[in-house]
Amino acid sequence: MIRIAIDGPSGAGKSSLAKGLAAKLGINYLDTGALYRTVGYAAREAGIGPDDRGAVVKMLENTEIRAAFEDGVQMMYLNGRPLGDAIRENDISAYASAVSAIPEVRAFLLETQRDIARRESVVMDGRDIGSCVLKDAICKIYLTASVECRALRRMAELQEKGVDTSLEIIKADISDRDYRDMHRDVSPLVQAEDAVYLDSSDMGIEEVTDKIISIFNEKAGK
């Protein structure tokens, strides 16, 4: 069973990288941020403020979240209903970041994540995969990039979608999310002791992928 954990702040390029890596290794990619986004989506749909811990926790009693791989693509289901790209909205990013700081939400999603890794080989990306969810992953990477560089990448993505925004707003958003993810009480974003630190600011995706494959081969004794 192969388990690769890729953690790091938002916009560091974790998901494209993890996706490509999983495809090269012929295994699935689990985007754990999508699970938190699904909880955030459920809260918004229920009209619950993302910081209303009591209401979010109560909501979990009647919430079933499932990740399924369909042709290698991860689909999120909320109470049996597929959500598609709706969880990618900007508004949902803020909800996801807020609900992910609630200990009961993290506990709720922990088993879902571990269960998938028990059943199959995976590359997982998130914030606490190496430090908490898959402490025994064979290969752990902490992937980051400068705020400037992450903001420029995000800006290019948004422009491609026709969304008009400013670099300053994106930078402020990224810094806010970094702060929240790194300073929450439970499972904050940290580099696991045995994770390899990679700064992708001046690296292309191919270069980062090759680097991780060589780290993986080394760790796996290949």
Q: Which residues bind ligand DC (CB under 6 A)?
A: 10, 32-33, 36-37, 93, 96-97, 100, 126-129, 177, 181
Q: What angle do CA 154, 20, 200 make, to 5 degrees?
A: 50
What are the strands, taking DSSP E only, across the chain? 3-7, 28-31, 65-70, 73-78, 81-82, 122-126, 139-144, 196-199
The number of angstroms, rounded, from the C-alpha of 154 to the middle of its chain's C-alpha atoms is 15
Q: Least CB distance from residue 97 to ligand DC, whole Å?
A: 3
Nearest to 111 by CA among 75, 143, 64: 64
The nearer residue to ligand DC, 179 or 197, going by C-beta atoms, is 179
Q: Least CB distance from residue 103 to ligand DC, whole Å?
A: 11
Structure tokens at 114: 């571990």
The nearer residue to ligand DC, 90 or 217, going by C-beta atoms, is 90
Q: Least CB distance from residue 197 to ligand DC, whole Å?
A: 18
The nearer residue to ligand DC, 150 or 220, going by C-beta atoms, is 150
CB atoms within 10 A of CB 124: 25
Q: Least CB distance from residue 127 to ligand DC, whole Å?
A: 4
- At residue 13, φ and ψ (nearest 5 deg) are 95, 15
What's the DSSP call for residue 128? S
The nearer residue to ligand DC, 9 or 212, going by C-beta atoms, is 9
The nearer residue to ligand DC, 19 or 37, going by C-beta atoms, is 37
Q: Least CB distance from residue 221 to ligand DC, whole Å?
A: 28
